[in-house]
Amino acid sequence: MTPALAVEGLSVEFRTRSGIVRALENVSFSVAKGETIALVGESGSGKSVTAYAVMGILDPAGRVTAGRAMLGELDLLSAKPKQLAEVRGRKIAMIFQNPRTALNPIRPVGRQIADVLIRHGNVSRRAAPAQAVEMLRAVGITDPARRAKAYPFEMSGGMCQRVMIAIALAAKPSLLIADEPTTGLDVTTQAVIMDLVGDLAKELGMATIFITHDLALAGQRSARIVVMHAGHVVENAPTGELSANPRHPYTAELIAATPDSAQSLDALAAIPGSLPDLRRADLPPCRYAERCPRKIAACASPLPQAKPEATHIVACWNPLPDRNEPAQTVYPKAVSAA
Amino acid sequence: MTVLLDVADVTKLFPASGGAGLWTRFRRRLSGGPENVPKVHAVDDVSFAVGKGETVGLVGESGCGKSTLVRALTRLVDVTDGSIKLGARELALKPSRVFARDRDRARVQMVFQDAGESVNPRFTAFAAIADPLRRLRKLRGKALRERVETVAGQCGLPLQLLSRFPHQLSGGQRARVGIARAIAVGPDLLVLDEPTAALDVSVQVVILQLLQRLKIETGMSYLFVSHDLSVVRLLCDRVLVMYLGKIVESGPAREVFEHPLHPYTQALVAAVPRLHESGGERLRLTGEPRSPIDPDPNVCRFYGRCPRGTETCKTTMPALRSFANRQVACHFAEQFLPQPRTAS
């Protein structure tokens, strides 16, 4: 099956006054049609930069130095701005983190949805407002005709997020990138919003990339989890497999630090150390090596390359033992150091 | 257990009128003075107690009044009605401006949500921690320096970081500054308003364990406000669940989360994502919360969103009733009592 989006070897640098920040290095993952995957990592791990690079909305200081992001036949990273403008909104859409700041504060929300419909949805100017109201109804806003005339500041955070979802889905995209869509919302609202995104994705057969720092939420809502650390993908596995059988030491520590399943506070384990400074010239090949409890001599050589057919990808020379097949380890095959 | 903080019938109303323009004031005069202005019932008749050395969690969604309640308890705003007793001292009588210079001000301290925004950006970490000591303990010179360094050490803040400004510190270090500032004056009650909301999980663990250790070392009581139920479950002895200005359920944290009795608590617990469980059929809340502006005193606040809403709920406000060590404000709490549901 052809994936909805395949990111291959994406590297991004930011030029700053204090040096070049190597924010992403060789990030690869793909999302199949209709599939929901989650990008998980702590702040500074490069999850949002990945999304911005794919959308072509990186900060001017940022530069894609290598890699491809294939949306069907089109490489989003080398596409011309005009091509990108055609694709964005129509084929890929994005939900941003803070709905209140991402919406236009001086335009009624119904108009903002209508704008997208006119630009990308082949809807006539006259029909757009009525259809915007329909979109609001579809995302579960009560009294949509009245709400369409409201400004973002008149609505609660949960409602603003619904409007964002309506805008993102207005042109029925085939890929949705949701960047921390429920951060700052209540758990009850979070559940409703995530249900909504999930239901709509199923209805439209849309692929979803869901960016979050909440491993528990990712586990509940996605079929596959991609764990990122300091600009590297450290592990990529189906959700059940990842939570039951984490192979990368960082993933294991992240799970041990998640408070949802712990019995007491003492059972939670903090992750020692912090992210390495990504401006350093002498960054080790494995950016987790300096914090890693399982560090061995091989960690100084370039990271192992995964087999293309592998479903559970671990970027580690000394991963935790596989609990499924203790005898036959399926360590990713080493490629001779280039 | 001796009671440290005794809150009785606290109510806080805010006038809800569109700004203070000429026309509004004119209309208000016509309609019969400030008494007739519609009021937001932010906190409505709330009573609870915090024991000495106890950790009480306060959970509820945004807009339910937990922040207002906390601000009333820490005497940052004045209450409309009710009493707040800290030991033998009644705190609710003095206006908050006067209380700011009271000798008991040091006994209730607060850790704010995001230390990056609640610490003065022009203060170094040292100045931030020293400020309450100067004002409330009148410490100067060497005594001040020693106290700041002791507290910083207690909170795991390296001494060489004390000369830095908030923007030069990491999120976890800022959180430590916020905690050190609050405990510097040796309070009896520490109110924590989502101290870990802005932190990554790995840092959150460290801060929670620090709080746990500080409590054992100093014997403070905590009032821990959060909407992260997994954290409340681990840190708190007892939990209060608030909904639209009212406490709807309270009890030992573990029991409340394992066998919630109030339908709102049930929905809240069901909404917490769990890594080892995929989202199946869960209790979903539909609809928007009722308006907090002059709510009908005879209708249950949860009516309209409640999956169980009946005619009784529309005509009688359920009172907070006690069941052993639990309290629930629901007409149908008994149905869940005899056979506690299996742990969710």
Which among A189, A215, A269 has the least Cβ separation from residue B205? A269
Backbone angles phi, psi at B43, to 5 degrees: -130, 125
Q: Token digits for A291? A: 């914090």
A156 exposed, middle or buried (CB, 10 Å; 0-12, 13-18, 19+)?
middle
Q: Which of B168, B173, B194, B202 to mutate to test the interface with A (most CBs of A within 10 A)?
A: B202
Domain residue limits, chain B: 261-344
pLDDT at B64 over 50: yes
Which among A42, A186, A220 has the least Cβ separation from residue B274? A220
State how far Cα A242 lies from the chain centre.
17
For the segment B130-148, the average pLDDT, to the nearest whole number, is: 91
Which among B231, B233, B275 has the least Cβ separation from residue A255? B275
For the segment A89-109, the average pLDDT, to the nearest whole number, is: 88
Instruction: State the ipTM, two decimals.
Output: 0.78
- Indicate the range of A298-302, B114-118, B277-281, B295-299 predicted with least confidence: B277-281
For the segment B49-64, the average pLDDT, to the nearest whole number, is: 89
Give the span between the Cα atoms of A36 and A202, in whole angstroms.
10
Chain A positions touching B203 (Cβ under 8 A) are 270
Of the CA atoms within 13 Å of residue A306, those in its CB half-sphere come to: 20
Residue whose entry in the numeric block shows the structure tokens 């309070």: B187
Tell me, what's the pLDDT at A329?
46
Question: pLDDT digit string (tens) for B319-343?
Answer: 888 888 899 998 888 877 655 444 4
Least Cα separation, residue A221 to chain B (angstroms): 7
Least Cα separation, residue A129 to chain B (angstroms): 24
Size of interface A-B (CB pairs under 8 A): 118
Give the span between the Cα atoms of A54 and A74, in whole angstroms.
12
C-alpha distances (whole Å) from B300 to each of A78, B265, B314, B336 are 58, 15, 6, 18
Q: Cβ contact (<8 Å) for A260 and B234? A: no
Question: Mean pLDDT for chain B?
Answer: 85
pLDDT at A210 over 60: yes
Strands A74-75 and A62-71: antiparallel
Cβ-based neighbour number of residue B216 at 10 Å: 9
Which among B228, B229, B274 has the least Cβ separation from residue A261? B274
For the segment B154-179, the average pLDDT, to the nearest whole number, is: 91
Question: pLDDT digit string (tens) for A304-322?
Answer: 877 777 788 888 888 888 8
Least Cα separation, residue B135 to chain A (angstroms): 34
Q: How does DSSP assign A60-117, residue by residue?
A: TTEEEEEEEEEETTEETTT--HHHHHHHBTTTEEEE-S-HHHHS-TTS-HHHHHHHHH
A319 exposed, middle or buried (CB, 10 Å; 0-12, 13-18, 19+)?
buried
B18 touches chain A (CB under 8 A): no
The answer to whether residues A193 and A205 touch, using CB atoms and an 8 Å cutoff, is no
B200 touches chain A (CB under 8 A): yes
Chain A positions touching B61 (Cβ under 8 A) are 186-189
At A227, which helix (H) or strand (E)?
strand A224-229
Q: Cβ contact (<8 Å) for B235 and A265? A: yes
Residue whose entry in the numeric block shows the structure tokens 């709330």: B46
Q: What is the band of B184 on the pLDDT scale with cuts at 50, 70, 90?
A: very high
Q: How does DSSP assign A179-217, residue by residue?
A: ESTTTTS-HHHHHHHHHHHHHHHHHHT-EEEEEES-HHH
> What's the predicted TM-score (pTM) here?
0.83
The total number of residues shown for chain B amounts to 344
Residue whose entry in the numeric block shows the structure tokens 């992403």: A24
Tell me, what's the pLDDT at A325?
60
Non-local CB neighbours of B121 within 8 Å, separated by 6+ positions: B165, B166, B167
pLDDT at A147 over 70: yes
Tell me, what's the pLDDT at B340?
47
DSSP β-bridge partners for residue B25: none
Give the span between the Cα atoms of B109 and B217, in whole angstroms.
17
Chain B positions touching A243 (Cβ under 8 A) are 275-276
- In the stretch 210-229 of chain B, residues with CB closer than 8 A to chain A read 212, 227-229
Is the torsion defined by CA of A190, A191, A193, A197 positive or negative? positive
Tell me, what's the pLDDT at A123?
86
pLDDT at A327 over 70: no
Q: Cβ contact (<8 Å) for A189 and B268? A: no
Q: Token digits for A207? A: 């692929």
Give the span between the Cα atoms of B150 and B146, in whole angstroms.
6
Question: pLDDT digit string (tens) for A212-240?
Answer: 988 888 988 899 999 999 999 999 999 98
Residue whose entry in the numeric block shows the structure tokens 């202005």: B37
CATH code of A1-33+41-81+208-275+284-338, in short, is 3.40.50.300
